[in-house]
Structure 1
């Protein structure tokens, strides 16, 4: 749950506490000059004082086109650390080699590996995240999950699209706070009239408080209203000294939009500013002496505040600005464009200062340099290039922009660029592929009717129909329409399907069959997909594996899903993008729900749902909310489930019927049986087959609890018949329902074996509860323990009630934590303590501590006993 704070003292106290319990993400936002950078600097000092390593970077004005620039700046000082030197070099090489088309491990993977290698805790702090490229934001969003000892902190004028644990909004200073600042500047208590004047002029903005006071001290006054004269006040006070200083400062302000200035740059910057060497040195020293430039790391100098640089840059006229950028680009070109970072910096300046003929090739080179490792940056560059390109080239560039944004999980931008591309592209391969991208984008946004209309509109012009047919089919099925003809035509067209269309076609066909509850057809599509993927290039194979994992997880197959995700992870390490449309995070959430990692699933999927919603990925955000509801309702957390049910579902039969089912479960949990029965019947009646399976399973359990044995048997029989060809999850649900309704110990035992074989914790406990009700009291003990571990309070209470009926007392709580259970699983798997430490990124001592806790809680005394108990399902 995100905390929102205000007030500098409160923020610092909370930040200090957060620094002690990583992983955590902290964000500070507010207007320019409000004190964000100062607060982050105080946070960095606090971090150092309590023993954290501090890494600091600065996002820059042209950041949207500079992939990973702020991140690499922050990590740069680690080159002097023997532990970090080698992984840092691999990270920098991965980014630079992308410019040459050489694929290595993705920057996100390298960054996580690098930070995990560092001993102790680390604070990674980035200023001005509102300027950062989207790929950097993406990496910062996932790092705390991959690096246990990491704190990510950042400032921004507007909050970036990333989840945070603590968000601090800075407000303007009150008059009494202004008085404290003025006192510090003047060395004496100011008069009330002076405080009132400064407060009115500054509007409580700390930077302008200082400027107003110093302007008064130097004999001037700021008479005009906010915000226009503020820039004039800065320029007037700071650059009365000479034209040389002002000219050099303006050049430095233009350079700062991609990186800070270094003393080695001074001769070239002097030439750009029209100064000789002596004049440039005097001007530079004067800027440093006046406190306008301050030293940073690695012989670099930064402006004392971004507002100074912004005022100077705004002071450049349009023609002068272009001239300065063009000359900076020339300087960078002469220094050499050895890798992606230098290419992006050069292209950023040339885009602002070069002619169209000069800027277009530079933009294309920047796009190619980032297309594999930073697709969102590539989308930015393809879009800018399209603006300058001749008419006959625009369609191709817009299509590449659309695909890049889709790979970067930005469907709104992909749809916009795709529309522009299709307006100018002639029918053919690129036209068809762009239409497919647009259908996927609209579908992921929850705009089902739009997705169908795009597919239908462009199907007559497609050079091959299979993918658009399959895409249209799966969306129409979600809408509750009959799409059998579309599916048959897609399968018929499959033998001649271009390789690059296979993933889209077969994923859609598998998804369509899954919703319809036809597992044989889904497996047919999955088998063809995985067979074909072996011959596909890495990006397409990754998409195939993630799509197959998504279907497998939805079908309830945990082990097979984990195997596919492991294969996908190996490919991801060689690419710069992952998780198209949020599919990967949704699959992980399902796997964690199946495997009993409910609290971890809740923690991650809540933040993931926020990120997906902000990116426009409403379809998978809704699916994540469904998983959250599923867990909360089984845990009896009905108050927390209520707000998730309050908003309208996405407008398709699948989502509407699922919402009815979840509402039924909540109604039953709070004692409203009439509403529960009405809603579950609605889900059965209106939902697709996959939803009907779930709804009949719940209806059976509800009627058993309420004592309606005949009704329960009728519901169980209906489910058993319907689930005969359904997904493994549906068949397991049918086994449990019929076992409970008909008191069939053989079916309950089969359900237990199925659940245990695939590591399905909740279903295992459910099967044990049924067996316990049928007379095996030993199973009740274990069911009670597992439900307790899951936090499934209503189910735990049912097991406790049955235990008491059997004359047994529920065992006192000695529940293994998630970490303890994972260590126990690895011990049972035969791993040594050093291997377990490597697997979990723990120290050996930590593994020993967890193992000793496992022994203490379970009463077991050796690794052999632990392995046997795990095999029996006793822990």
Structure 2
């Protein structure tokens, strides 16, 4: 056991068990307790033990003075990482690290905390690949917001042999680290509480640290006053050692600290105040602030060093314990603190530190302080620290610089940092105060963006329509408003107005001269126009790609590369679409854009399903479920469950399909976004058709069917359910209801030359012709569908058409041809892994045999007719389901009755009920 923790055997055992776990998989342990209780001692012992076990150890100590400095703790960690590891990061991540470490020159693409988080995670992952890694963080309650976000991100994503050992004060405000720190694969974060020491423990501690022991009565007195707090007990023992009377020992730690520090020279006390107020105190900084030489500074600090108040390592100055720093700072007068911050502001080099010191030195707004805070916020934003930038702007607002521009900028920064509640609070305060004008429009835009983020599209539409009334002719604000409005209206199902508004945005964008904004408008316009039945404007997409800023932080739904991938997929160019979506995905990974990866996952999974690559789609679904759990939020979970239900429906897992779809629908209804689960209904509808449950299929798809007449286009992304609805309608004898859908697919397919529409439209027409008894025409139409499939790399859809053609060929008594067609369909279904459809193909092959079936002596054809009639289906329904005429059904029934010796459908129902 490490020296210094001999009095903590149980707690140290918890640390060693944690290290054993970290040698196998990601693990975390939070050491909790009151200030001075010995958390850091245990933490240091844990690090020493880790090094003995062969861990690579990265450590950092968060400080109260650093709680508002961007990436202060992450910079400490990264500063100890092998430069070769950092050099191997992707370019944008290397740049982000250089900015965190304040060694980047100006220029280069923008970075944000997502990129920093991705770089940090990648670096840790690479280190843990070599040997176990311990990330040790002392005083996590003082973690700056930017570092908090990065460490939380990394903890969720790490998969190697990594341990996180943290200390945290019990009395701090807000969530504890064990609550916000989430590990992957739902691993739990451990906690160990460090409480007061017993009398024996205090005796052992004092003897070990001071090299002497005290009589029992003295130790009892120390234990009584300190309450078992080791730090307080040691300070009391030191006081007694220097001659203090036991009868006048201070009753509080604060008083003891005050007495101890108060005995120092006044010049030394000024130096200690400077060290307590500075984020990273150095001998050189303290000398400049107090107008001393470095030599004189070291001379003045000598006594404080000898008494164990501070330590000096090279040029760095550190307090022996955070309580000492806090005592120095809080005991100083307000005037002295302000004067010290003013002096520090003149000497520190970082714009961020300078501005904070100026703010802490000021009692009210002054132009120079406000200007410094604005400049520091811009610097923090350039370093990719939006939370720090927002807090700097809020400091300016709090000092009296409360302007609409600062509120909008701060809210925008919080939005980028993912802190929506604070962003909304700032904006609501602004919209309450500013009834009109461009600033109101900008605030409404940001509020609408938050509603869109939560899929509350109708609320967003109302806000954006208001914003258009207040833009005061500002073209850029108008373009951004119209772009958001068109996207919200599209997702609300208002296709016509969405297209109208994005066309308006395109007209204005040319005058604004903002290339990246123009590229976003062109990309979104092409996508919306395609969904509205206008075909694909490839020229606009190419121009959007040429104008785009490849490092733009625009929402992923507005980026040209993402839209290009979608349009390629809808056009049936699935291989190209998959490649382009992979490029988009890699960029999201490099930038740590977790929410954007959900968007990518949805469309990548659809592309893989259409390509018949169900294993890959299943992998994406599982990854998305895990990511949605890490990110939290009902909308993320809905999307993940929708993907799961789609994959399960194709792979024939009935229970999994229904469970995932039901959960998605319930979540969507609960959060007021029922249409978010439309694809869950599509998956269940497809499953029901696969099972032959046509009535249930139509019940599930009914809301989508009702909306069909109002959808201007028939791209696969909006009406993939139509082939299933058509098949179910015709199977149930509702032939006429299917005609409008079939005709629309045929017409639109010809108009925009879309292979998918032409193929499934022809298949639907074939079904309709067969139901009307025109089998030759149905065969011809199915064969025509197959010619369209040649241009469509969707193997399942082609096999589905082959199955229909084989059924029709059998009906024409072309047994050999039908057998070849059905065997081809079966081979594809089996290769793809669609068991329900493979079984349908096998059943059709069985019907080609005229041999008696089962113990009832029926042929396969008679058996199938009997089964359907026994369920209560009418002659017309059975004929439609089996692609035979009603007369053929009646002929089969006559033979069935004769063979079974019965005379009615009721008797047939009883027989098949008994037969199961």
Correspondent of 1:518 among 532, 538, 553: 532
Pair 1:712–1:450, CA change in 2 (3 A): same
Q: Please tell me whether residue 361 in structure 1 is matched to residue 399 in structure 2.
A: no
Q: Please tell me whether residue 754 in structure 1 is matched to residue 824 in structure 2.
A: no
| Counterpart residue number, 2:340 | 324
Q: Please tell me whether residue 494 in structure 1 is matched to residue 506 in structure 2.
A: yes
| Counterpart residue number, 2:706 | 685
Superimposed CA distance per residue, residues 686-741 of structure 1 (whole angstroms, 9 cap, x where no aligned partner): 6885787244456578x69xxx9456988987765555659989759948985997
Pair 1:343–1:100, CA change in 2 (3 A): farther
Pair 1:263–1:273, CA change in 2 (3 A): closer
Q: Please tell me whether residue 623 in structure 1 is matched to residue 626 in structure 2.
A: no
Matches of 1:504 and 1:274, distance apart in 2? 56
Gaps of 5+ in 2: 1-9, 169-174, 208-212, 241-249, 609-614, 771-778, 807-818, 847-916
Deviates more, 1:68-77 or 1:251-260: 251-260
Correspondent of 1:583 among 596, 607, 610: 596
Q: Please tell me whether residue 402 in structure 1 is matched to residue 411 in structure 2.
A: yes
The alpha carbon displacement at 1:254 in A equals 7.0
Matches of 1:387 and 1:453, distance apart in 2? 31
Which residues of 2 match residues 581-730 of structure 1 at below 5 A? 582-592=595-605, 594-595=607-608, 596-598=615-617, 600-602=619-621, 604-610=623-629, 612-613=631-632, 622-631=638-647, 636-637=655-656, 644-647=664-667, 648-652=669-673, 654-655=675-676, 657-658=678-679, 678-685=699-706, 693-696=719-722, 709-710=731-732, 721=743, 725=748
Which residues of 2 match residues 454-603 of structure 1 at below 5 A? 454-462=463-471, 463=473, 464=475, 465-480=478-493, 482=494, 484-485=496-497, 487-488=499-500, 490-492=502-504, 494-497=506-509, 498-500=512-514, 501-502=517-518, 505-506=521-522, 509=525, 517-518=531-532, 520=534, 523-524=536-537, 528=540, 531-532=543-544, 534-535=546-547, 537=549, 540=552, 547-551=559-563, 556=569, 559-561=575-577, 564=580, 579=593, 582-592=595-605, 594-595=607-608, 596-598=615-617, 600-602=619-621
The alpha carbon displacement at 1:285 in A equals 1.2
| Counterpart residue number, 1:383 | 394
Structure with more contact order per residue of length (Cα contacts < 8 Å, sep ≥ 6): 1
Pair 1:169–1:95, CA change in 2 (3 A): closer
Correspondent of 1:234 among 253, 256, 276: 253
8 Å Cα contact 1:383/1:401 also seen in 2: yes
Q: Please tell me whether residue 58 in structure 1 is matched to residue 31 in structure 2.
A: no
8 Å Cα contact 2:759/2:788 also seen in 1: no
Pair 1:105–1:316, CA change in 2 (3 A): same
Pair 1:451–1:532, CA change in 2 (3 A): same
Correspondent of 2:460 among 441, 448, 451: 451
| Counterpart residue number, 1:347 | 355
| Counterpart residue number, 1:441 | 450
Matches of 1:31 and 1:452, distance apart in 2? 50
Q: Please tell me whether residue 164 in structure 1 is matched to residue 183 in structure 2.
A: yes
Pair 1:241–1:461, CA change in 2 (3 A): closer
SS in 1 for 2:388: helix
Matches of 1:519 and 1:279, distance apart in 2? 81
The alpha carbon displacement at 1:767 in A equals 8.9
8 Å Cα contact 1:294/1:304 also seen in 2: yes
Matches of 1:130 and 1:739, distance apart in 2? 67
Pair 1:561–1:35, CA change in 2 (3 A): farther
| Counterpart residue number, 2:866 | none
Pair 1:426–1:174, CA change in 2 (3 A): closer
8 Å Cα contact 2:411/2:426 also seen in 1: yes
Pair 1:383–1:769, CA change in 2 (3 A): farther
8 Å Cα contact 1:533/1:540 also seen in 2: no
8 Å Cα contact 1:244/1:280 also seen in 2: no
Matches of 1:668 and 1:32, distance apart in 2? 63
RMSD: 5.7
Pair 1:286–1:544, CA change in 2 (3 A): same
Q: Which structure is larger by alpha-carbon Rg, 1 or 2?
A: 2
8 Å Cα contact 1:262/1:301 also seen in 2: yes
SS in 2 for 1:153: strand
SS in 1 for 2:373: helix
| Counterpart residue number, 1:72 | 75
Which residues of 2 match residues 27-176 of structure 1 at below 5 A? 28=30, 33=35, 44-45=47-48, 47-61=50-64, 63=66, 65-78=68-81, 93-95=98-100, 101-104=106-109, 106=111, 108=116, 111=120, 120-121=130-131, 122-129=133-140, 131-140=142-151, 143=154, 149=160, 151=162, 153=164, 155=166, 158-159=176-177, 163-165=182-184, 166-168=187-189, 170=191, 172=193
**TM-score normalised according to structure 1 size:** 0.66
| Counterpart residue number, 1:286 | 306
Pair 1:494–1:28, CA change in 2 (3 A): same
Q: Across the two proteins, how many residue pairs are aligned to each other?
A: 740
Gaps of 5+ in 1: 1-6, 203-207, 221-230, 788-794, 808-875
The alpha carbon displacement at 1:543 in A equals 5.2
**TM-score normalised according to structure 2 size:** 0.64
Pair 1:692–1:599, CA change in 2 (3 A): closer
8 Å Cα contact 2:31/2:194 also seen in 1: no
8 Å Cα contact 2:436/2:470 also seen in 1: yes
8 Å Cα contact 2:799/2:828 also seen in 1: yes
Correspondent of 1:243 among 244, 254, 262: 262
Matches of 2:16 and 2:765, distance apart in 1? 56
The alpha carbon displacement at 1:201 in A equals 8.7
The alpha carbon displacement at 1:452 in A equals 2.1
The alpha carbon displacement at 1:73 in A equals 1.0
| Counterpart residue number, 1:859 | none
